[in-house]
Structure 1
């Protein structure tokens, strides 16, 4: 028989109730005539005005039609939007193509200044075209980066956060588009700022809450829901890419996952992507966070992350599954990106093991002694994820789907190269790691030859890592065809590497290397993770990931600097 406390209704708490205005809405609801709190829609409560002094809202930026010389035809504009939909549309939802096409048609149909009255709307049109140009992958008219003229013009229509906040959902979309563009332009920290602002606007609007009771059409609710999860994923990944904390805790989110709805694409791939982003947030908090934990809770956290990633890999829709037994591997742009993000999360969670073992190897630790450590399984998992990523990246290049300026592809190449460099030091007898390093360098050369100026910098960083760890530079300076590629003098600044110095290719490269044999799915071993944990001293495992003298941030650049200080101090 239950106690009186068991039968009492639960005390409702909500983060929004920390606001006195929102709390007053609950007080007003405690009456016989008002709707009960339980039946009030989740979202923003009615509240008193936050502009009691009626301060005028700052005006927007430029008005009227944009000043862009090579303004596209309507057909060209539609093509650019289609490129976005085909490239990232299944795993991100930065804007609603249906309403965007309506506004775009108004601009081309009316052909008068009235079509450009909304500065926020004009800014978004420009940013969509800029992202489309970016994903198209070609530089025109001496632009420093694809779509830069559209991007620069879009910023002229944005004057303040007040205006973006007042623009509502449109403001969130603009911030997400700018963040995506800057991320691909190798301005990760600036992208993190814009994504963070977009996330804040979305939170203030209540997009992180269930909007089922709000006075919106169903299609508007679907759009807002998918936009929320996209800006959430974007901000999470930029936090990982820059080594900064994410802007919202998962416990504060009440928005449901995207569901099926007529007129919208299937949310299956999007939902897998959301789960990977959530796992990335857990990795940042548990593995790279500075929160003091007991050894037991820390180990359980790492274990839970690996199990979660294994479960996520099992939720990938059948039509998007990759078959690594195919020779060569065949990919689509959607499943390639999805798997690259999954493997990136696996590498992020297990990479500290490689850093640890590299430090031991540099200091003369016997290789055989290292091999018998249970931690070897974590190292193998990290290397396996890198090798699978490399197979995907090479398939993208072979099928001419590799994004010349896309951040995710470049970041994946750099991440896997970092893993192979560490693996080459830990296991010097494995010639395959030297081959894998060369293959990643060839991919960076490919991007460089197509105008990607960040790729030569990444290449120079990889060669510098090889130098510091005693991996012969001569072996790394050749492509898979045995052609010598120019390498950067480490004493010269990156800008001295000229794109024209790197050979271009007239067609898809021929794959002449022996394909890797992936005999089982990645992370298959986590079913036996409890037994593996029992073999390792809890204190040693905790110290591996949480060491005040070896702080990790989760980014390749900062973790490499930490390793250098540890090895060469």
Structure 2
């Protein structure tokens, strides 16, 4: 973190630890203002005392008011009890609406005629946008694509006074051409050029390297047994009519795109294997006859479709996998004595892969989650070859739960109710605080230490962690942008003064994503087909492009960060990722319009001769800016962020605890006064 923000967070920690400090003692508890002094702040340790860390763990993991989605091991019974599911239960409980009404009634005592909506990304009525072919697409609440689309839409209307052209965005399923639109072809299909046995093993191992640490897509022993049988019996009549053959084709499709990368036009390498697998896929009523193979196949289909930007179809197939798994009881504590240890452990690997993919894809679509955590009793699988894999999977599941909590609270019912949006953000940050120390200790990145290579798995989980922070805080960024646009002269509003630390957290996590991806690229580990790296880059680059307009104080080197993002997009484009080309184009459009807004703001400030507006991109600030503008944070150097420990648990909790009832009231009034609606 920057020195100013670190000092601000330390002040928040002190205020959190010392609730007895009042104005009568001459000291005021710090809320969200960014304070500066004539002398640099005294450095304090990022780690608190053992007593405070114990208090943090108890508050982050067992708080009755805001229970987290993940506490302890996922295999612990308490993980799935009622105590850990209060927030999600509200969305299903008929009495939840009554409780929400009571909350609104209490809130209305502090201010009348306040708006009923606070999270603009979850506003009603819902938002749709037409594609070039006229089809209407729903912009999901928490979707990265929807967020970028909404930002582009409102920015284009402000700058060009015209609606955003439909061809300015990449819509679902238009990046690649798989060469098949779904109709059954009753003619004999053309024979496939099946790779040789050695090459097939090479492709299978490539899939294991790229996907094996994050997801379970096939059982290694059984798959290789069938593979040997497939090549040893070339004349077998059942050679190409089994579920395993479909599974084999899907793995070949993944392997070809990982190895060859380049596309033939708009058709990805190995697409012929995927298309043939889809043509041979049996109807859904066949899946329960072999639930393990069927769910693994459906996971492969969903993941492949997600990578080629068929997000809606991917969500459909992972939902189908979820239902097959539920029907077989994979979400339960399956009895090893009855079903066999090997069978049960394979089911556990399959279940948690489905769970993680479903949570991630549902959030990327901005849709409600399918299953509550209280209904899951599945234990963690055991990996005899590596005990750390179990710990890593545990962290991955916890991050998936936090994504769902953010999706359900900040972007769901609570996010749409007055007084709930900021409180939901606070609860989500408290949950992340419970995970920050564990992630930094178990899977440190050590990007600032020479001689250490980047672990692909560690980097992936740190990317998900920073995505959670961005997901939880970017509604404030969007609200601040709307407030800027509603001001006819783009004058500086007080959003950054009131919630500057939260906005800075969003920006710094976005910068951390860029640095992690750069480190992966330097070691040849940047994923150019799997969607995690591209999704992280896309979400972060949009924030960095917007941040300079929302709050120029904290991102004075925005062009440099955007340029670094564009270079990462170029790396993915050169590897054959067609989606990355569209994402780069969207970012360039947004960045160009933001620069025009900053130029307009600069001209207004120059002609008016006042300090109410900001100079573009690091210009000198006027001396009469209203609040706490003494010394502004400098650009973040590489060694200050993305070490896996840039926000410790106590710092996150302190920031979350600084959100008070008066901040909620201020947010509502600010939205009303700026005519955001």
TM over 0.5: yes
Instruction: Give the counterpart of 1:379 among 503, 526, 550.
Output: 503
Deviation, 1:99, is: 1.2
Query: Matches of 2:295 and 2:203 in 1, distance apart?
Result: 21
Supply the distance in 2 between the matched residues of 1:143 and 1:371 (Cα, whole angstroms).
44
In the alignment, is the contact (CA less than 8 A) between 2:549 and 2:598 conserved in 1? Answer: no
Give 1:528's aligned residue. Answer: 654
The match for 1:537 is 663
Q: Which of 381, 394, 398 is equivalent to 1:258?
A: 381
Distance 1:304 1:243 in 2: 20
TM alignment of 1:539-558, pairs within 5 A: 539-540=665-666
Hey, what's the Cα distance between the residues in 2 that align with 1:523 and 1:383? 17
Cα deviations by residue, 1:95-149 (Å, 9 ceiling, x for unpaired): 2112111111111122222452653111111111112223335237767112201
Report the counterpart of residue 197 of structure 1 in structure 2. 320
In structure 2, what is the Cα distance between the partners aligned to 1:206 and 1:538? 43
Matched, 1:424 2:424: no
CA change 1:384–1:142 in 2 (3 A) is closer
For residues 3-49 of structure 1, the C-alpha deviation after alignment (integer angstroms, 9 at most, x for no partner) is: xxxxxxxxx99xxxxxxxxxxxxxxxxxxxxxxxxxxxxxxxxxxxx
What's the CA shift string for 1:219-239, capped at 9, x where partnerless? Answer: 111110111011111011111
Counterpart position of 1:403: 527
Is the Cα–Cα contact under 8 Å of residues 427 and 656 in structure 2 kept in the other structure? no
1:107/1:379 Cα in 2 relative to 1: closer, same or farther (>3 Å)? same
- Residues 140, 352 of structure 1: alpha-carbon distance in 2 compared, 3 angstrom cutoff: closer
* Mapped contact 2:481–2:549 kept (Cα < 8 A): yes
Rounded Cα–Cα distance in structure 2 between residues aligned with 1:87 and 1:122: 21
Instruction: Give SS of 1:152's match.
Output: helix
Change (3 A) 1:514 1:339: closer
Equivalent position to 1:314, from 423, 437, 458: 437
Q: Which runs of 5+ in 2 are unaligned?
A: 1-80, 83-183, 600-635
Unaligned runs of 5+ in 1: 1-11, 14-60, 475-512, 550-565
Whole-Å Cα distance in 1 between the matches of residues 189 and 251 of structure 2? 14
Equivalent residues of 1:279, 1:308 under 8 A apart: yes
Aligned-partner Cα distance in 1 for 2:559–2:221: 49
Q: What's the offset of the Cα at 1:531?
A: 4.1
- Are 2:211 and 1:85 equivalent residues in the alignment? no
By how many angstroms is 1:325 displaced? 2.2
Contact 2:414–2:420 under 8 Å retained in 1: no
Distance of 1:329 and 1:456 partners within structure 2: 32
Contact 2:301-2:314 at 8 Å conserved across structures: yes
Check whether the contact 2:640–2:646 (CA below 8 A) recurs between aligned residues.
no
Corresponding position: 1:242 with 2:337: no
* Distance in 1, Cα, partners of 2:596 & 2:454: 32
The equivalences for 1:94-105 within 5 A come to: 94-105=217-228
1:438 paired residue number:
563
Please give the alpha-carbon distance, in whole angstroms, between the structure 2 residues aligned to 1:296 and 1:256: 37
1:529 Cα deviation (Å)?
3.6
- Secondary structure (helix, strand or coil) at the match of 2:459 reads helix
Aligned twin of 2:304: 181
Distance 1:328 1:371 in 2: 39
Structure number with the bigger relative contact order (C-alpha 8 A, sep ≥ 6) is: 2
1:214 deviation in Å? Answer: 6.2
Partner of 1:163: 286
CA root-mean-square deviation: 3.4
> Where does residue 482 of structure 1 map in the other structure?
none
Deviation at 1:159, TM superposition (A): 2.9
Are the counterparts in 1 of residues 433 and 653 from structure 2 also a CA contact under 8 Å? no
Deviation at 1:252, TM superposition (A): 1.6
Alpha-carbon distance in structure 2 between the residues aligned to 1:176 and 1:114: 27
Residue 317 of structure 1, CA deviation: 7.5
Give 1:187 deviation, angstroms.
1.0
* Distance in 1 between residues matched to 2:667 and 2:191, nearest whole Å: 57
1:415 aligned onto 2:539 = yes
2:577 aligned with 1:457: no
Residue 42 of structure 1 is matched in structure 2 by: none
* Secondary structure of 2:369 counterpart: coil
Q: Deviations over 1:251-304 (max 9, x none)?
A: 221212334446998322222111111111111100111358876666554323
Mapped partners of 1:298, 1:367: distance in 2: 23
Check conservation: 2:414, 2:424, Cα contact below 8 A: no
2:640 matches 1:517:
yes
Closer, same or farther: CA 229–445 of 1 in aligned 2, 3 Å: same
Q: TM-score, with normalisation over the residues of structure 2? A: 0.61
Q: Is the 8 A contact 1:120 1:170 kept in 2?
A: yes
Gap change, CA 1:411 and 1:294, over 3 Å in 2 = closer
Q: Judge conservation of contact 1:272–1:316 (CA < 8 Å) in 2.
A: yes
- Can you list the C-alpha shifts for 1:374-401, whole angstroms capped at 9, x where unaligned? x211111111111111001111222122
Shift of 1:176: 0.3
| Distance in structure 1 (CA, Å) of the matches to 2:660 and 2:241 | 62
Tell whether the 8 Å contact from 1:119 to 1:157 is kept in structure 2 after alignment: no
Q: 1:463 to 1:294 in 2, by over 3 A?
A: closer
Structure 1, residues 335-366: CA drift from partner, whole Å, max 9, x if none?
Answer: 22121111111111111111112223332576
Question: Following the alignment from structure 2 to structure 1, what is the Cα–Cα distance between the partners of residues 270 and 388?
Answer: 26
State the SS of the aligned residue for 1:230. helix
Contact 1:68 1:149 in 2 (8 A): no
Cα pair 2:480 2:550 within 8 Å, conserved: yes
Change (3 A) 1:542 1:284: farther
Q: Partners of 1:330 and 1:260 in 2: how far apart?
A: 23
Label 1:219 to 1:265 Cα distance change in 2 as closer, same or farther (>3 A): farther
Superposition deviation, residue 184 in structure 1 = 0.6
Q: Indicate if the aligned counterparts of 1:184 and 1:407 stay in contact, CA closer than 8 A.
A: yes
Task: Give the structure 2 partner of residue 110 of structure 1.
Answer: 233
Q: Deviations 1:157-203 (Å, cap 9, x if unpaired)?
A: 21311122322111111110000001110111111111111111111
2:514 to 380, 386, 390: 390
Q: Over residues 65-90 of structure 1, what are the superposed CA-to-partner deviations in whole Å (9 max), with x where a residue is unaligned? A: 99654321222222222222222212
Deviation at 1:443, TM superposition (A): 1.2
Task: Give SS of 2:195's match.
Answer: coil
Q: Answer whether contact 1:83 1:132 (CA < 8 A) is retained.
A: yes
What SS is found at the alignment partner of 1:314? Answer: helix
